[in-house]
Structure 1
Amino acid sequence: KESICTVAMQIMFPFLMAGMGMVAAGVVLDKVQHWKVFEKVPEIFILVPALLGLKGNLEMTLASRVSTYANKGMLDDRRKMMSIVWGNMVLVEAQAMVVAFLASLVAIVFGWIPDGKWEMNHAIILCAGSLLTGAIASCLLGLVMIAVIIGSRKLGINPDNVATPIAASLGDLITLSLLSAIVKGLFFVLNNPSTSWIGPAIIILFLFLTPILLWLAHRNEYTREVVKYGWEPVIMAMVISSTGGFILDFALLQNPGVAVFAPVINGVGGNLVAVQASRISTHLHSSGLPLGTLPPSEAPGCVTPCYSFFGSNNPHAGGARVMWLMVIPGQLIFLLTIEQLQAGHTSITPQFVAVYLLISLIQVAILLHVCQWLVIRLWRKEDDPDNSAIPYLTALGDLLGTGLLAGGFLFLWLVGDRDADVGDK
């Protein structure tokens, strides 16, 4: 049993490191939004939350799944460890390709809706760029996750507390940087007649590789069930995140200042709720009870926010309070960093700080409360929360964060705290 101080100490450093990665991702998005490819193919903005959400759909789920194996001692056997690592890496790559392809189709549809027209080159850029970004980013982050979890186990640190924040610290920056570079390159080659075949060739190659990887993952005993039954949460999460991307695309048209803060607010919420979901899931698995049977300490059915954060018989309330209270100092540090970097198009006034902190607290409070209910509900339905909970929660974090951020900017504009010349900075 971990004390609140132990939880706070183990989470704090990875949380701050993750936040700095998100700040860096926000700075990147703030810069690349003015690139020619982003201006000519604005549907790429719809892809951003869905691809950044891959770390929640896949890498954080991988971290939660393998952390449970680690806490149960299954990684201490070298043969089992190699089988778990191989199966999960193949699975993550296959899932990344499927989700990235579907995300590109959703972006194409959302881009077509406003004016009822689309261009073939834009569709190829979205599809090939999404596939390449998803495959490369998931491979790199998956390897890092496995190394972190194995290292945490050897050092006696609970991997549930550190693995998902580290995934978050690297995930947004790596994914957004890859996406920006890849779509820029595809925009160049597709406008050159001698190299225009590269985009379609990339799409065909990935469509050929995906079923092979799924077959390999199905052969592995540790990932077989995920291949069979683990698709609903990641696909639904992709749709939810893409809806957030549609909001982001619209918000950026109204105020480019949204760009630098969107990855930060979305990442902080998704990061904290992923840690809580991973901890609750490990607690349930460690009870020794089968899926569908709750330990006596867990409350079945719907619970109130008071129970989620202050319930005396709730073993997860202390962790929820720690994570919720970390929002204020964490976001202040991230805002100060953005201000020092002189990033973005928005002045960080006292009114802005107050509104930004308020919407961050609202977002994380909702996520942690939903997490308490969702993980228990999935367990009762005999659906392993290690495979299903985090995709829903991080996608909901993207949707809430983007929507609340857009609403916060609108509120500030209405009360008179507005930047007259948003392009000056």
Structure 2
Amino acid sequence: MLRTSECNSEQNVNADGYRLITNENKPPDIKYSKENSWVAGVQMFVSFLLAGFGMVAASLLLDLVQHWDVFKQVSEVYILVPALLGLKGNLEMTLASRLSTNAHLGHLETSLGTLIIGNLCLIQCQAILVGFLAAMAAVAMGWIPYGEFDIHHALLLCASSVLTASFASLVLGLIMIGVIVISRKLYINPDNIATPIAASLGDLTTLALLSWIASLLYSSIGTSVILPSIIIIVGASLVPVCGYIAWKNKFTKQALDEGWVPVVSAMVISSAGGLILDYTVSKYKGVAVFQLVINGIGGNMVAVHASRLSTSLHTGQKENSVLGKTTKLLLLMVIPGQLIFLYTIGYLRAGHTSLTPVFILVYMSAALLQVFLLLSISHYMVLWMWKLGMDPDNSAIPYLTALGDLLGTAFLGAAFIVLDVIGDKDSDLGD
């Protein structure tokens, strides 16, 4: 987000110690400031449904590709899945939150071109580096348990991760910019819809790219290291160029300065979720099709919560309670949203688990607990960052969506263990 001295804004501090930012060029924002709760609820729920069906499609894809040779022979690819899919929280959702705040402050009307260039270069720089670090983490986590290092597997993981992260971030970044601009023109609050739309396309696009690229590189494994090496070198050369452009841009300089710790930390947290996924998928095949849904819905809800709360702080408003109106609306959406996606998966006879009443009860308990914890953590984290002088638009969402991946994968694994213990299992459905 902008430093106030760089955007002709005045910064004040109110009686509660919160920063109040005003902008002389800000257009009237009555439609946002007097937003009706029901209107907000409809906007969020519709965008969640779109996001959810995108995640269901990604879940079906993961259920399919887990049988591909590259996933069977190079199981470390599973570790990349949460880390790379988490980029939508690290980068695209953060971009959406940042641009939503810019929309409320009126900067889209005055500096759209500068915003686009700076933000695209910023997320490209971050994506390539995070993709490389995620691959290194996957290599290390795959090597440590067995003590065996395979250079071909390492190059495959690194090239697949870097190329997937770079291309997915470019495409999704352009889409996010379009969504924010259009929603502004239609007087729709971008805080309500931008982050779920990022997720609706992010999971499916990223997983499809990762699976396709990894499969192509796997076909040449053991015969040539030239192609993956070229991909890595080209990616590495783009980092300083994009980083310099983002650093010179007044809209992204602060994000470049303070955004690395959250992005890298989120990658580590998501990779820990990848370890859990690698273990649970090997033991319970039914986990794969539900993992992206529970993680995605939790991540979407906490991203919307953080984006709205951050915007309210930037515009001089604040929510006093953990159970504010946004939190209550989001919690109310969990049950109908999850049921719609569960029965969609069941109708398609996807996965390896039938939807018994006991399964639904255990699964919904895990989903509700995950979302409640995420929203509670989000409230305190955003306020804490704001009081420390950090911009939550740059820092909060990566942590929160990564925690969503970790908690969702862990709770889902625990749910399958509970179901296994009580005898509610059906491993042949979908075979």
Pair in the same fold by TM > 0.5: yes
| Counterparts of 2:221 and 2:232, CA distance in 1 | 13
* Matching residue within 41, 56, 59 for 1:23: 56
Q: Gaps (5+ residues) in structure 2?
A: 1-33
- Give, in whole Å, the separation in 2 of the partners of 1:334 and 1:260: 11
1:376 maps to which of 362, 383, 386: 383
Aligned to 2:187: 156
> What pairs up with 1:63-74 in 2 under 5 angstroms?
63-74=96-107
Q: Does 1:324 align with 2:353?
A: no
Q: Is the 8 A contact 1:84 1:222 kept in 2?
A: yes
Structure 1 match to 2:208: 177
Corresponding residue for residue 47 of structure 1: 80
- 1:4 is aligned, of 37, 45, 68, to 37
**Counterpart selection for 2:47 from 14, 34, 54:** 14
Instruction: Tell me the CA shift for residue 216 of structure 1.
Output: 1.1
- Residue number in structure 1 paired with 2:322: 308
Task: Return the TM-score normalized by structure 1.
Answer: 0.92
Q: CA deviation at 1:424?
A: 6.0
Match of 1:393?
400
Q: Which residue of 1 aligns with 2:12?
A: none
**2:146 is paired with a residue of what secondary structure?**
coil
Alpha-carbon shift at residue 48 of structure 1 (Å) = 0.3
Query: What letter is aligned with 1:281?
Result: S
Find out whether 1:269 has 2:269 as its counterpart: no
Contact 2:322–2:376 (CA under 8 A) maintained in structure 1:
yes
Match of 2:425 in 1: 418
Q: Does 1:204 align with 2:237?
A: no
Structural mapping, 1:21-420, within 5 Å: 21-77=54-110, 80-193=111-224, 196-287=225-316, 297=318, 299=320, 307-309=321-323, 317-419=324-426
Q: What is the Cα deviation at residue 189 of structure 1?
A: 2.2
Deviations 1:162-216 (A, max 9, x none): 10010010000000000000000000123434xx310111111111111111011
Contact 1:46–1:248 (Cα < 8 Å) also in 2 = yes
| Preserved contact between residue 256 and residue 422 of structure 1 (Cα < 8 Å) | no
Displacement of 1:118: 2.0
Give 1:49's aligned amino acid: P
CA distance in 2, matches of 1:264, 1:364: 12
Q: How far apart, in 1, do the equivalents of 2:144 and 2:338 lie?
A: 35
CA contact (8 A) 1:257 1:422 kept: no
Conservation of the 8 A alpha-carbon contact between 2:349 and 2:430: no
How many Å separate the matches in 1 of 2:146 and 2:57?
33
Residue 51 of structure 1 aligns with an amino acid whose one-letter code is: L
- Aligned-partner SS, 1:190: coil
AA aligned opposite 2:88? K
8 Å CA contact 2:258, 2:394 repeated in 1: no
Q: Per-residue displacement from partner, 1:260-284 (whole Å, max 9, x unpaired)?
A: 0000000000001000100000000
Deviation digits for residues 215-238 of structure 1 (CA, Å, limit 9, x no counterpart): 111111111112222100000000
Q: In structure 2, what residue type is equivalent to 1:232?
A: V
Q: In the aligned structure 2, how far is the partner of 1:424 from the partner of 1:67?
A: 41
Letter in 1 for 2:205: I
Q: Does the 8 Å contact 1:125/1:187 carry over to 2?
A: yes
Distance, in Å, in 2 between the alignment partners of 1:118 and 1:358 is 40
**Equivalent pairs, count:** 398
Unaligned 5+ runs, structure 1: 288-294, 300-306, 310-316
